[in-house]
Amino acid sequence: MAGEETFRTRVDPVLVTMPDRCRIAARVYGPEDAPPVLFVAGGDGGMLQWRGLIPELCVDAGELESFAEAGCTASLAADLRVAAFDGRGTGWSSRSHGVCATTAAAAADVLALAAALFGRRFHLVGHGLGGAAALQVALAGARLVSSLTLISSTAGGEAMTPPGQTFFEVRATLADALEALEDDGDSAGVGVDLEELAGFVRRDVELGFTPGFVAAHPGLIDRLAAEALHDLVGELELARHGASGTTAAAGRGEQFATHDVAGRLDEVAAPTLVVCGSEDVVLPPGNAQALAGRIPGARLVTLEAGHMVTIERAADVAASVRAHVLMHP
C-alpha cells in the first residue's frame, strides 16, 4: 500500500442539496451495479471517520500508508457501492444552515442523501451517533433499508450504558481548555496554549482505542489528533470572527443527550448486525448488548477493541459488514 504509485486519488465530492437548500458533501465509490451502502459517521460527523473501511477516503499516500500499517487495507468499495458524507457544519458540507441537533433531523438528511445518491433501497451502516441516526432511519423509512449495521452505538434512554469515568474526566478537561481559549480570544495569559490543548486533544483521541493499539501505532494517533485539533481551532476561529449559531460539536452533544429509541427497538424490521469493541469506554459494550437483545433477529459481533473498532479491527469489521450486506440483497 505504501508509495505514490499505489495511491488512488479521491473522487471529487458530490454536493447534494437538502430540502432547506443546505448542501451536503458525499463521496461515492465502487461498482455502480453493486449493493448500495450508506455510511453515517458519529463523533465529528465527517466522512473521514470511515477511512478504516474505505481507504479511498485517505487524502494522500502517506495517510494511506499510516492506515495500512494499522491493518486498514481491505476496502468495502471493492464489491459494494459505498457512500460516506460530511454532516451539516463539518468538512465540505454547508456551515450556513446550522447543524442537526436531534438524531431525527440527522435521519432526515440521511434519507434525502440516499434518495439522491442511490434512488433505490439501500444498506445502512452507522457508527456511534451515526448509528443512533441510522436507527431513526430504520424506524422512519423501514421499507427503504435493506439491512442495518450498528457499530459502537446505543439506543439511548434506559437502555444506555454510560461512558466510563475516564471519558468524562478527559472531556471535562478538554472543554475547560476550549472555554478558556474562547473567552480570552487569545491563548496568551489564560494558562492554556495550543501545545497544551494539543495534548488534551490527543488524550481524547486515545480514548477511542485500546492502550495496546495506541502504543503500537503512535503515528496514526498523532495524525488523528492533529486533525481533531485543526477542526477545534477552526471552530474557535469561526466564533471569533462572528460566526453565530450552534457549533457542530454542540449539536452532537444535543443529539447524544436527547437520543432515546429504547422503547421502539422491537419495531426495527431491517436485518440488523451489531458490532462493538469489548474495551469501548466511550459507549461501553452494554449498549451493543441491549441493541442486539431487543432488535428482533439482530446478531452481535464483539471484537477486542475500543470505540474506534472500525480502525482497530478494520479487517474483521469489513468482513462482517460485507457478509451482512451480501446476505440481504
Write down the pLDDT at residue 233: 78
Residue where a domain terminates, one of 245, 269, 288 = 245
Same domain flag for 56 and 156: yes
Is there a contact between 25 and 92 (Cβ–Cβ < 8 Å)?
Answer: yes
pLDDT digits (tens, 9 = 90+) for 134-160: 999 999 988 999 999 999 999 999 999
Tell me, what's the pLDDT at 282? 95
Q: Which residues of 21-31 are buried (b: 16+ CB within 10 A; e: fewer)?
A: ebebbbbbbbe
Task: Provide the CATH number for the domain around residue 88.
Answer: 3.40.50.1820
CA–CA gap between residue 196 and residue 187 (Å, rounded): 10
**207, pLDDT greater than 70:** yes
Residue 16: its H or E element: strand 14-17
- Domain total of the chain: 2
Which of the listed residues 193, 214, 245 is the one where a domain comes to its end? 245
Q: Which of 217, 245, 273 is the last residue before a domain boundary?
A: 245
Considering the domain architecture, whether residues 207 and 116 belong to the same structural domain is answered as no
> Are residue 132 and residue 278 in the same domain, yes or no?
yes
Residue 58 has pLDDT above 70, yes or no: yes
Is the model more confident about 42 or about 101?
42
* Stated length of the chain: 329
Same-domain status, 70 and 194: no
Closest CA to 313 of 128, 74, 2: 74
Residue pLDDT, tens place only, 100-125? 888 899 999 999 999 999 999 999 99
Residue 329 pLDDT class (50, 70, 90 cuts): confident
pLDDT band, very low/low/confident/very high, at 94 (cuts 50, 70, 90): confident
Question: CA 235, CA 218: separation in Å to the nearest integer?
Answer: 26
What confidence category does residue 164 fall into, taking pLDDT thresholds of 50, 70 and 90? confident
Residue 196's pLDDT band, with cuts at 50, 70 and 90, is confident
pLDDT at 5: 43
Q: Are residues 110 and 40 in the same domain?
A: yes
| pLDDT score for 190 | 42
- Residue that has been written with the C-alpha cell 451480501 in this structure: 326
Question: How many Cα neighbours within 13 Å face the side chain of 58?
Answer: 27
- β-partners of residue 83 are 28, 38
> What's residue 197's pLDDT?
86
The alpha carbon of 183 is separated from its chain's Cα centroid by a whole number of angstroms, namely 29
Residues 47 and 184 in one domain: no
Name the pLDDT band for 35 (thresholds 50, 70, 90): very high
**Per-residue confidence (pLDDT) for residue 271, from 0 to 100:** 98
Under the banding of pLDDT at 50, 70 and 90, the label for residue 7 is: very low
Verify that 146 and 287 share a domain, yes or no: yes
Residues 175, 321, single domain; the answer is no
Tell me the C-alpha to C-alpha distance, in Å, between residue 105 and each of 84, 125, 132, 146, 308: 17, 17, 11, 21, 24
Q: How confident is the model at residue 2 (pLDDT cuts 50, 70, 90)?
A: very low
Q: What is the DSSP letter of 53?
A: T
What is d(CA 286, CA 263) in angstroms, rounded to the nearest whole number? 16
Q: CB-based contacts of 204: which residues, under 8 Å, 6+ apart?
A: 170, 171, 174, 228
Residues 155, 267 share a domain: yes
Nearest by Cα to 324 from 286, 291, 297, 290: 297
Q: Which three cell numbers stand for residue 51?
A: 477511512
Instruction: Residue 168: name the closest of 131, 221, 204, 199 by CA.
Output: 204
pLDDT of residue 162: 93
Taking the C-alpha atoms of residue 257 and residue 22, their distance in angstroms, rounded to an integer, is 24
* 184 pLDDT higher than 60: no
Sign of the C-alpha dihedral computed for residues 29, 224, 315 and 252 taken in this order: negative
Residue 239: predicted pLDDT: 59
Claim to verify: residue 52 and residue 185 sit in the same structural domain: no
At 174, list the grid cell.
478538554
Q: Given this model, what pLDDT does residue 245 score?
A: 59
Looking at the fold, whether 111 and 139 belong to one and the same domain comes out as: yes
Tell me the per-residue pLDDT of 272-321, one tens digit each, with 9 for 90 and over: 999 999 999 999 999 999 999 999 999 999 999 999 999 999 999 999 99
Could you tell me the residue range of the domain that residue 126 belongs to? 4-162+253-327
**Per residue in 209-238, pLDDT tens?**
999 999 999 999 999 999 998 888 777 766
Quick one: 156 and 283 in the same domain? yes
pLDDT at 45 over 90: no
Q: What is the mean pLDDT of the chain?
A: 89
Counts of helices then strands in the chain (DSSP H, E)? 11, 8
pLDDT of amino acid 263: 96
| Tally of CA atoms within 13 A in the half-sphere of 329 that contains its CB | 4
